[in-house]
Chain A
Amino acid sequence: MNGITVNGMNRQILLGDEAVARGAIDAGISGAYAYPGTPSTEIFEYIHSQSIQEELEIHARWSTNEKVAYEEALGMSYAGRRAIVSFKHVGLNVAADPFISSTISGVHGGLLVVVADDPFMHSSQNEQDSRFYARFAQIVCLEPADQQQAYSMAREGLDLSESLNLPVMLRLVTRLAHSRSIVALAEPRQQNVRSLCPDTSYWTLLPSNARRGFERLLDKQAELRALSENHPANQLTMSGNGKTGIIAAGIAQGYVQEALGDRLADCNLLCVGFYPLPVDKVKKLIESSSEVWVLEDGYPFIEQQLTGEGMHRGLKVRGKVSGDLPRSGELTPDLVRAVFGAAKTPAVSLPGIDKVVRPRPPVLCEGCPHSDTYQIIREATRDYRDVRIMGDIGCYTLGFYKPHEGLHSCICMGASIGMAAGISHAGFSPVLCVIGDSTFAHSGLTPLLDAARENTNIKVFILDNSIVAMTGGQPTMATDEAVERIVAGLGVPSEHIKVIKPLPRNLDDNVRVVRDEIEYRGLSVIIARRECVTYYKEIKTAKSNREGESR
């Protein structure tokens, strides 16, 4: 990494994601768990590469999915040591089960749950706001305003988690997760010594234990509110009665500073970086201000709490619900400038530019095996009507676009197989689905087990390119023979497990294999196996390393 020392301070250029990771390392974590997903991937990657480079004793391995990652982190906490678990916003849906119940059990070693939200869906299928999850779970959520705060809040979050005996959430948004700045690092803390929690009733959520655990969680709420009122990240700056009030959460603090500059000093400003909300400060701001603007990146989480879903009509709160700011998409400094009536800075403009500039969406790489697979499927299904090819999450989702037009859905990790089964149940045939090797390991095994048990008439294509390509080339949990063994182990008959190599020269043979399977009324799994062209070198290195290990 890129760093210098100034006046004895170690200063490094870090992405927001990396600042969180560095903060967690310096807070003495013993375990880091994650599943790759934009914009969260670099958190784990940083910890992984640094633990090798600095020879740190941190267990850092990618997990099969977010639920497993969360449970591994919770186990590390159970054993008295600190852990970080990180994923993108939709990853928390996968991990929601252990997440919510771990607030009832409580934690032992500090547990930091980092969730990177993706307003505007730069690389996601929805833009859900994780602050709602923190509120639902009744735990602390930290929302940094910049990279320096991302570093210090990761450290603080682990301390806080241990002192409250609760998991703590740290919420990032894409623009902070993927923005670099210079961060000053503090002295690292030692790791915890392992220690088992003596009272196992906390951790065994039988109803009688769980009821006590839930009471404990409720009893902590007053303490959380008190912490929030006094937290330096929730700073209230009053300039006078009747002035414009502003609540700026997380990254919006920088945007309002950029937009208003010196004019900001003439407003009443409440910065928010610690949830639950500092209710007394919010009340004071509302009472003293002519109107209150709520600036937050994501859903109108704060605004809705202030207005009670519109029930407090007397209050002049302006933001996304009031219609002053767009309800969807990403907050930007330009939107903030516009609502405060700041003059636009003139930009270069050219007549006729709109006719020239056009969108450039992402595409499958040249030579990508998925392109060949889509061609095989296209040729093999040509003579059938009402063909549906259910899709999943990965590079191959780009097969929706021309020229492939090879899939008809993408909902969440693993949905392709279950949805294909549902369509088959509804009476359609042929029904196909495509799922990558890593997505299959993440969430494809359980629906395939369902399909195998009833021999559902669907054709499951596992696109095995030996890597997690879309998020930057992370190792996959199952490739090559491991995929075949899993599929066979789930109960798919071996005569309907076909392995093809999607290459242009094999097109005719491959089409014949697929047509034969379509003619069979039952479950078939076709493994389309060829290494990703973009990460070909990395895959070869990883495979030869694995062979070396097994010798």
Chain B
Amino acid sequence: MKQDILLCGVGGQGILSMAYVIDSSAMEAGYFLKQPEVHGMSQRGGAVQAHVRVSDKPIASDLIPLGIADMILSLEPLESLRYLPYLSAAGGRLITDITPFINIPDYPDPSSVYGQLFQLPSVLLVNGSHLARKAGSPKAQNMVLLGASSALLPYPAPMLEKHLAVLFARKSERLVHINVNAFRAGRAVSGFQQILSQAGVPIGLIARLLPWLDFEPWPVSSAVSRAWVEFFKSPAACAATDALWAERKVLPLDEEAPRKLLGG
């Protein structure tokens, strides 16, 4: 077992908290760990990243070499693209929040950022800010994204949730509750992606759809899953998904939504 993850985002978004949960789980699972991170000046709204290296054998370098990362897990879409030279061409996955964090005068047109993301062979786009607000705090965006990556991590979800709870218990029980729900909503996103992907829905279409579904802190029901699989069998699904992406409106996660989207 060897997993190299590049966590990234903008200073202040909560990258180090994500790293804490993964690190603690890695230690509990008995793995070796190296995890360099950024402190200091960049934490004032600059580009911030952490490398998380986990293995069942000793790890030599703290830094992940270029082209080696198994995953980029990002809290901001532009930041997710910054570290592509690290992402392995052999199956590297990118998971990112879709909400731009605009604090530079020359932030690119977000559509050009998404345009790049849609070209990736393996990408999961998450509406972390929406799901975090829904869970009770916009700051829980990082735990939504951690949840969305959790199916790919070599730790059981309860182990991750346990360490997440330890982290937030220092602050309050209420925050533990919010962040666990955020994590679970994120996990529901990736579970639903797997269902659609196994049903043969193209990755680019899934990427356009998922940010606009109102996930709950539990897995998507089989009835709703079936309804969406049916949706993608329609020849109009592609255009309807594009329209949904353009409209940027969150749909309820029920059986009716896909039918309505097709104009039924």
Contact = CB atoms under 8 A, between A and B. Distances in A.
A362 B39 contact: no
B61 A357 contact: no
Contacts of A398: 41, 44
B78 interface: yes
A281 interface: no
A352 interface: yes
A470 B32 CA distance: 32
B39 A180 contact: no
Interface stretch (A65-73, A319-327, A342-350): A342-350
Interface stretch (A22-30, A156-164, A209-217, A253-261): A253-261
Q: What are the nearest 5 A-B pairs in CB distance?
A: A38-B40, A345-B67, A123-B40, A362-B46, A179-B36
A4 B78 contact: no
Contact of A122 (B42, B62, B87, B120): B42
B34 A179 contact: yes
Contacts of A402: 105
A403 B103 CA distance: 12
Contacts of A363: 44-46, 103-104
Contacts of A470: 40-41, 44
Given A13-B33, A39-B39, A356 B65 contact: no
Given A122-B38, A179-B62, A360-B79, 7 more contacts: A13-B24, A175-B62, A258-B60, A332-B65, A347-B88, A349-B85, A472-B39
Interface of B: 10-11, 19-20, 23-24, 27-28, 32-47, 59-63, 65-68, 78-79, 81-82, 84-90, 92, 94, 103-108, 112-113, 116, 119-121, 166
A181 B112 contact: no
Interface in A240-296: 251, 254-255, 257-259
B42 A123 contact: yes
Contacts of A146: 62
Interface string A23-45: 00000000000000011011000
Interface of A: 2, 4, 11, 13, 38-39, 41-42, 122-123, 146, 175-176, 178-182, 251, 254-255, 257-259, 332-334, 337, 344-350, 352-353, 355-365, 395, 398, 402-403, 470-472
Contacts of B82: 357, 360
Contacts of B63: 175, 255, 332-333
B121 A348 contact: yes
Contacts of B60: 254-255, 257-258, 333
Contact of B89 (A123, A346, A361): A346
